[in-house]
Structure 1
Amino acid sequence: MRVLTIVGVALVGGVAAVSAQHGHQLEIGGFGIYTRYDPVWGLKWQAGVGGRLGFFLSEYFGLEVDASMANPVDTTGTVATKIARGSASLVLNSGGEHNVLYVLGGYTRSRWGGYSPYLWRNEVHGGIGDRIFFGSHVALRLEGRAFYSLKDLSPGKKPLDFTGSAGLSFLLGGGGGGGQQPAPEIPKATRDSILAAGGTLPSTGHGHQLEIGGFGTYTRYDPVWGLKWQPGGGGRLGFFLNKYLGLEVDANMAKPVDTTGTIGTTIARGSASLVINTGGEHNVFF
């Protein structure tokens, strides 16, 4: 009887060990939004679209960036504008596999207007939502969010906008609700014994890792622009789906001047890339 009890406990423990949640998964998704603008704007409520990229640091914490765009008209129905929002959020998840509730909060930069010069605004946001999973890697995501302006539009009035969104998310890599856990780390004494005997340690590469970085740039502009070559700076966020394939977004900015040295401009670039890596641990070409 004691043997059966021990076996039963071992089986339950084994199932728990391999029943991974969504930690270390990359989330990519698109969504539709519907925005209720603060009355101070004089705008009708409006539908729009957006996309998001997030990463589960663990089953309870995540980081996320998203962007959305809408084309509302004023309450008279005669004048339209374009509103784009880009947000960065810390996400707190409930854990679990098939229904993951969450709250989030962070910073938003919004751009108002259809052409330059734009009106730029700084906002903070908070939201609550739910991911309803269909299998391990696809989820319906529902969310409500509020945006609070950090600057008065008129004396004593900071606009407060509300959005509701619904969309699909695709989760890549990581545990994936039942995926196999990573191999346990080899103890130092064991590693030393393997190396002393002339053996080699298994190479894990950089699969399922999040990459965050900053960089400097130096750009040679096509002569048609009439601009001098110019240094700049940028940042990137990437995720290794496995040790050979990855996804990455990056943004950079520079302020070149024309070849006469009298007129300057600001150039910002944002990119999304599929990355093919050589594998390995200490020197990874891509």
Structure 2
Amino acid sequence: MVGDLIITRAFTDKLLGLSGNKANASDKAKAPDAPKSADTASVPQSESVSVDPRILLTQSLNEKANNIQKILDGIEASIKAIQTARAGVDQITGIVEEAGGVAVRARNAFSTESDKNKIVAHMEELLERFGKALEKIDAVVDRNPAVGPDKANLLKGDVIATDFTDDDTGRVLTQGDDVTARALGLEANFSSLEGTVATYKGVLDAIEKLQQFGNDLNNSLSVIQTRQEFSQYALESLTGGAEKLTLADYSEEAAALLSLQIRQQLSGTSVGLATDEQRAVLSNF
């Protein structure tokens, strides 16, 4: 009676190989007259290679995540451009209000001062201050950073396109507005009381235009930020799913598969190892 055996990993691998050799020998025994071909014997059996579907799924998830990340980069650039333009609008509004104060002083001078020489001297000073305010406005517009390949400047009336898909099917257009001093209609006329009144009215109209433009920028920014949150959530879901698949314990699953293969191979043989042929197999280990 054969004693107990300790089956190691090397033993099982060798046993599986010998089992395949035994099957081949059995087939050859049925056709003893078949000629042996050295070329045929040297050609290894072709093995079918199967790809774990989880690997394909991980690759697909990572590819989609990369596409969304590119979209998010574009969204972030648009958000930064709109926020910068919005800050520029606020700065320009403050400068226009400063110019409005100059126009009020000019109007009051005509209303209270009777000496024409003093009025003229005062108007020259106020005109200079008003002109410097207009220069500040244009400087803010020129400093506003241009965005994208077209170098779009929202403070010069250009348009910024924000894409939410990689095929341009989802897009939001942010319309800029020309807020240079000339476009705002700011022009000083301090030659008469009526001229100062008209100048001040032009200041009020410019402030109203700036406020409307600021509201439009806020609305566009709100829409884009909402889409940004959705895209960020989608990115986190994709990357999280890919990480879980990548971190799966493949070694444990491979061991389970090997165990199953061994059981399937051994199920076709006798349970005992008492025959001379099987003892001959064992002697090879």
TM range (shorter): under 0.3
Higher strand residue share: 1
Higher helix residue share: 2
- Give 1 or 2 for the bigger CA radius of gyration: 2
What's the TM-score once normalised by structure 1's chain length?
0.20
What's the TM-score once normalised by structure 2's chain length?
0.20
